Structure 1
Amino acid sequence: MKAILFDGQLKFLTDYPIPMPQADEALVRVRLAGICNTDLEIIKGYQGFRGVLGHEFVGIVEEVNGGDHQHLIGKRVVGEINCGCGLCDYCRTGLQRHCPSRHTLGIRGKDGALAEYLTLPVNNLFQVRQNIRDEEAVFAEPLAAAFEILDQVHIRPTDMILVLGDGKLGVLVALTLALSPAHVLLAGHHPDKLRVANDQGVATANASDLRAHKSYDIVVEATGSQGGLTVALQHVKPRGTVVLKSTLAVDAEMNLAPVVIDEIRLVGSRCGPFEPSLRALSEKIIRVGPLISGIFGFHRAADAFDMARAKNSLKVLLDFR
């Protein structure tokens, strides 16, 4: 099958073996897959992953290894990317995403979605409603990561929220948090990206114009940069909350004294719930189409990665249909 492999070098293969679904797994034929900043960080060394990249996808179930889920064959699905062991204390208490033995699609111990086929446990799959286009469904995973913040942080109507970073995730986070009654400001350096959020009613600002005064109850750091947390701490109120969304391949040193002195709550935030994400896509509450910078066939996969690396691009998709 066609697949994009990272084994220390990025390779575009046409003869990679089709994966075999294990017990209670499904074989999914990928239709569209997204290139995420995490994929770009893996190429730089993040997580030390070797294998097929990618974890954002929409596809069709072609085979199920197990008799209880044959009804999924032919269904269009997206998927939770973390595969827990199902036996440990974490898995038994609903923390499968933090299972010490977990495999994570395209990130940790499991070939990913930038290929014609992938496998996932059937319990990880979510059917996609007919009124959601492939080009929208492929956003289900990153949009779920944005919705995770609503589960983690109590947002009051009077809260002032600052989202730092106008990349793919930053824009999705701003659009998601804007569903709350709080005031949301998205700050970044790219007018075209900011416009995507502004066109859907989110207030935006050039990050260079922000004054470093501690005036925000909640700051979401989604810059993807090494200094993002330092900047976030310059804007959050004492006893406020900083949500960390960036994943980086580099180690970072910083002065944590402001966290202690101002009694800041730091919240790490990763993957999230698919149900509200798919509902938002189905009901068109959040319009993700404007975030698509380009769609490429496999024969132009190298061009797709070049575009994904460009500072002015948002979501780049690979088409396996």
Structure 2
Amino acid sequence: MRALLLEGGLTYRTDVPEPLLGAGEALIRLNLAGICATDLQLLNGYVGFSGVPGHEFVGVVAAVNEDKHRHWLGRRVVGSINIGCNHCETCMNQGPEHCLRRTVLGIRGKNGVFADYFSLPVDNLHVIPDDVSDREAVFTEPLAAALRVVEQLRSRPFGAVAVLGPGRLGLLIAKVLSLAGYQVTVLGRSEAALVLPRQWQLATALVAEVPDNGHDCVVDATGTPSGFAQALRILRPLGTLILKSTFSAQETIDLSKIVVAEIHVLGSRCGSFADALAVLRQKTVAVEELIDGCHALQDGLLAFEQASRRGVRKILLQPD
């Protein structure tokens, strides 16, 4: 089958074997996939992944290996990306997201979705409602990740939140926080980067003009060490930093303010797909406005090059 393969560098291949199904898995035919910041970081050596990358997808179930799952055949689906061992205490009590033996679709020990076909456990799948298009549904995973921030802040008394990084994920985070009642300011490096946030009726500011020590809560969605440093700069002592960035960095990062100012650091990762699909059905987040291009799988190298350009938001891949 055709696939993008990461082995030292990224290549387009036509000779990659179709995945063999494990117990409880489904074979899924790709309809549409999205390139995210984590995919770009994998090319820079993040977590040392090799194989087929990609984890944001819309697909159709083409095969299952157990009769009890035949009702999934032909269903249009998205799927959560963490696959736990299903035996440890973490899996039993909290779910697979923090299982120490987990694999992660297209990121850790599990081939991903930038291919004609890929596999996932049926338990990870969610049927896409008929009134949600493929171009909307491909945002389920990043929208779920954005909603995770809302969930984590529910018990915290912040009325105002700054979101640093008006890119693919940062805009989704800012919008769902705004819908949840927070006063949100989107911070970017250029006026051009702030055009779409303003169209979404979000307050904006240039991060370089934001004074030091002025915010109680900052979400870093930049995916860069420099963004992390800016987030620390603008936080008040005893403030809360929510890290939504994963990056492979070679440069030194100064963490002294976390200690001296007693900054609370909160990591944030995956969220509920069911909640994300519900938001997509409500049409309250104009996700399709984030799409800056769509390429055939065979043009995947060009798609990655475009996705890596500054100011480009969501680039999609499709089989043909």
Shared fold (TM-score, shorter chain, > 0.5):
yes
Partner of 1:293: 292
Amino acid at match of 1:182: Y
Amino acid at match of 1:107: I
Q: Give 1:192 deviation, angstroms.
A: 4.0
Partner of 2:147: 147
Partner of 2:20: 20
Amino acid at match of 1:261: V
Amino acid at match of 1:259: I
Partner of 2:269: 270
Partner of 1:195: 195
Counterparts of 2:52 and 2:105, CA distance in 1 = 9
Q: Give 1:302 deviation, angstroms.
A: 2.0
Q: Which moved more, 1:257-266 or 1:173-182?
A: 257-266
Counterparts of 2:281 and 2:193, CA distance in 1 = 23
Amino acid at match of 1:277: A
Q: Where in structure 2 are the equivalents of 1:99-138 lying within 5 Å?
A: 99-138=99-138
Q: Is the 8 A contact 1:187 1:205 kept in 2?
A: yes
Structure 1 residue runs without a partner (length 5+):
none
Amino acid at match of 2:269: R
Q: Where in structure 2 are the equivalents of 1:44-123 lying within 5 Å?
A: 44-123=44-123
Q: Is the 8 A contact 2:165 2:221 kept in 1?
A: yes
Q: Is the 8 A contact 2:10 2:301 kept in 1?
A: no
Secondary structure of the residue aligned to 1:57 is strand
- Percent sequence identity over matched residues? 43
Structure 2 residue runs without a partner (length 5+):
none
Counterparts of 2:173 and 2:123, CA distance in 1 = 26
Partner of 1:245: 244
Counterparts of 1:251 and 1:46, CA distance in 2 = 11
Counterparts of 1:282 and 1:244, CA distance in 2 = 28
Partner of 2:226: 227
Counterparts of 2:244 and 2:72, CA distance in 1 = 33
Q: Give 1:260 deviation, angstroms.
A: 2.8
Amino acid at match of 1:28: I
Counterparts of 2:173 and 2:239, CA distance in 1 = 18
Q: Give 1:227 deviation, angstroms.
A: 2.6
Q: Is the 8 A contact 1:32 1:317 kept in 2?
A: yes
Amino acid at match of 1:20: L
Q: Give 1:28 deviation, angstroms.
A: 0.6
Amino acid at match of 1:32: L
Figure out how many residues of one structure are paired with residues of the other and give that number: 320
Residue deviations 1:269-303 (CA, integer Å, cap 9, x gap): 11111112111111101110110000011232222
Partner of 1:218: 217
Residue deviations 1:230-253 (CA, integer Å, cap 9, x gap): 221222233221100111112554
Q: Which moved more, 1:66-75 or 1:278-287?
A: 66-75
TM-score computed with the length of structure 1 as normaliser:
0.95
Q: Is the 8 A contact 1:157 1:182 kept in 2?
A: no
Residue deviations 1:199-234 (CA, integer Å, cap 9, x gap): 12111122222222x232210011111132322122
TM-score computed with the length of structure 2 as normaliser:
0.95
Amino acid at match of 1:75: R
CA change 1:30–1:4 in 2 (3 A) is: same
Q: Is the 8 A contact 1:83 1:103 kept in 2?
A: yes
Q: Is the 8 A contact 2:158 2:216 kept in 1?
A: no
Q: Give 1:178 deviation, angstroms.
A: 1.1
Secondary structure of the residue aligned to 2:54 is coil
Counterparts of 1:7 and 1:119, CA distance in 2 = 20
Q: Give 1:94 deviation, angstroms.
A: 1.6
Q: Which moved more, 1:256-265 or 1:167-176?
A: 256-265
Q: Give 1:95 deviation, angstroms.
A: 3.4
Secondary structure of the residue aligned to 1:254 is coil
Q: Is the 8 A contact 1:166 1:190 kept in 2?
A: no
Residue deviations 1:22-70 (CA, integer Å, cap 9, x gap): 1101111010001111111111110100000100000001111222221
Q: Is the 8 A contact 2:162 2:218 kept in 1?
A: yes
Q: Is the 8 A contact 1:35 1:305 kept in 2?
A: yes
